[in-house]
Amino acid sequence: MGERTADYSLADFFFSDSSDPLVPPAEYVAWRKATAWATSLYEPRLRGPAGPRVRVERGGAVHSAINLSSYNYMAFAEDPQVIRAAQEALDRYGTGACGSPLLSGKTDLHARLEERLSAFMQRPATMLFNSGFGGAMGCLAGLLRKGDVAILDAKCHLCLIAGPNLARAKSVFFDHNDPKSLDEALAATAGKRRIVVVEGIYSMDGDMADLPALLEVAEKHGVGVMIDEAHSILACGAHGRGVTEHFGVEDRVALVFATFSKGFASVGGFVSGNADTIDYLRYYSHPYGFSCALPPSVVAGLLTALELATRDDERRNRLRENTAYFRKKLLDLGLNLGQSTTHVVPIVIGSDRQMLYELCHEMQEKGLFLAPVDYPSVPEDQLRYRAAVTAAHTKRDLDEAVAIIEDTIVRRLFPARAKAAQPAQPASTGTTIPTTTTTTTTTTTTIPTTAPLPGTAVAAGWRGKVDTLRQLSGAVADEVTGKARQVLGRIWKQ
């Protein structure tokens, strides 16, 4: 299992000083071995579909667990009609498209899905991508050029940051959901070709873009908006068209991107918008023209999922009911759910990385599959678990999950409450070390006496390198330590 230390993160190794770019830093390799106990939680192996209950293999052991980690929001991952459609297409079209959609990979199924998505989104044209990340990145890389400016919400996903960087455009970030900050960013970039980029639901925070306020500012400056509805497509809005429909502003958003990996429970993505813009992207968005089209079997499943999702509101209503039920249970326990208002539910625990991983192991052993979210994916003082509520969950699933969360996370975050509710326990034989949390108080974390204390020589060496970088470049240091969600994009920009 390796040594049980989780005091350092991937951000400590972003700046590599190895002489060969094909060889990672020796310190990184040593750190990965030393933190195997923590990082063993990543890349788990599911022994079946991503349903509400799963069998998960980690470290050679298989656990049956309630699944709060998969994006199966609309319960299509195990839907028999979707599976049957994919199987029939597999028999008819074979295993893959075997070519770029521009040259040979586009079938009648692909064309039909584009047409039906355009009708569903109420937009003139749509194009498909074989990757959600690649599609979002490719849209922005295809539209922007050197000298252009992308104005992005500070919490935008990395795919939206990578696109402008690939185009060698400038990226300017405005404070999350802040119209005043957006106004300042647009005023400072007047005279440039610009696009404003936001998400429908922010993937790590679960809150919606404040589209009415942000659009008012963008329109004042005459700048168009692209939205990534990855976590909101099919789930939000009266008909499932996302946050733009939820706020009634669809006609004010120029370009809508969405993935198939979440609400559709599949793979890939699409973009809908003006016919001329979509036609332009077919030739200048390289992830479209220079990679293989989606397998026809996947497309057939997507067509059926779209039909089922638009037939009635039953799945959306079930998702909303489950979300409200689960959120209330967690709030009643006193947990910090951040600014979330949706089915993406963060459980923020603060800055104690050791506790983040210890509790994750405990929850796994008790039967809950809930993944840790560490820095630099989120700020260093806002480490969390991210729960994904789906229409497939039953009240029993959610009740059992809440009971495990109460017995693990709540017990550690609120020890006085747990002590009052439980009989006296024998004194711990571990070593207690103080851990700074997001408040000004100090909590304690008990770690087995076999575990090394934070501050190993390997990681300490890297902390020293980061400190040196702070002295050399205060701007870069701010990105590494203070605004983790933007770290890669802003570092690349410099």
The answer on pLDDT for 3 being more than 90 is no
Confidence of residue 151 (pLDDT cuts 50, 70, 90): very high
Instruction: Indicate whether 434 pLDDT > 50.
Output: no
pLDDT score of 429: 37
| H or E element in which residue 396 lies | helix 395-405
Looking at residue 478, its pLDDT comes to 40
pLDDT in tens, 73-131: 999 999 999 999 999 999 999 999 999 999 999 999 999 999 999 999 999 999 999 99
Q: pLDDT class for 414, splitting at 50, 70, 90? A: very high
What was the pLDDT predicted at 472? 38
Residues written for the chain: 494
pLDDT-based confidence at residue 39 (cuts at 50, 70, 90)? confident
CA dihedral 440, 459, 464, 374 (to 10 degrees): -50
Q: How far apart are the C-alpha atoms of 163 and 436, rounded to whole Å?
A: 36
Average pLDDT over residues 129-149: 98
Q: Which residue has the higher pLDDT, 466 or 61?
A: 61
d(CA 214, CA 200): 12
Q: State pTM to two decimals.
A: 0.84
Is it the case that residue 324 has pLDDT exceeding 90? yes
The whole-angstrom separation of Cα 457 and Cα 463 is: 10
Q: What is the DSSP-derived secondary structure letter of residue 295? A: P
**Of 20-34, 129-143, 172-186, 240-254, which range is least confident?**
20-34
* DSSP summary character for residue 199: E
Angle at the Cα of 293 (from 291 to 295), degrees rounded to 5?
A: 135
**Would you place residue 381 in the very low, low, confident or very high pLDDT band (cuts 50, 70, 90)?**
very high
Q: What is the pLDDT of residues 335-374, one digit of tens each?
A: 999 999 999 999 999 999 999 999 999 999 999 999 999 9
Mean pLDDT of 188-194: 97
Q: How far apart are CA 49 and CA 349, in angstroms?
A: 29
Which amino acid is residue 346, in one-letter code? P
- The helix or strand, by DSSP H or E, that contains position 319, with its residue range, turns out to be helix 314-332
Mean pLDDT is lowest, of 191-195, 312-316, 451-455, for: 451-455
Mean pLDDT of 14-31: 85
| pLDDT exceeds 70 at position 206 | yes
DSSP 104: T
- Got the DSSP string for 47-63? SS-SSSEEEEEETTEEE
Ordered alpha helix ranges (H), 98-253: 108-121, 132-143, 158-167, 179-188, 211-220, 243-247
Name the residue among 19, 41, 67 with its Cα closest to residue 369. 67
How high is the mean pLDDT of the chain? 86
> What per-residue confidence (pLDDT) applies to 5?
54
Say whether pLDDT at 469 is over 50.
no
CA nearest neighbour of 294 among 317, 319, 321, 264: 264
Q: Who contacts 441 (Cβ-Cβ below 8 Å, separation ≥6)?
A: none
Q: What is the pLDDT of residues 252-292, one digit of tens each?
A: 999 999 999 999 999 999 999 999 999 999 999 999 999 99
129-141: average pLDDT: 98
| Count of CA atoms in the C-beta half-sphere (13 A) of 356 | 32
pLDDT at 144 over 80: yes
Q: Which secondary structure element, helix H or strand E, spans residue 479, and what is its range?
A: helix 474-481
The encoded tokens of residue 47 equal: 């022994």
Please give the pLDDT value at position 60. 82
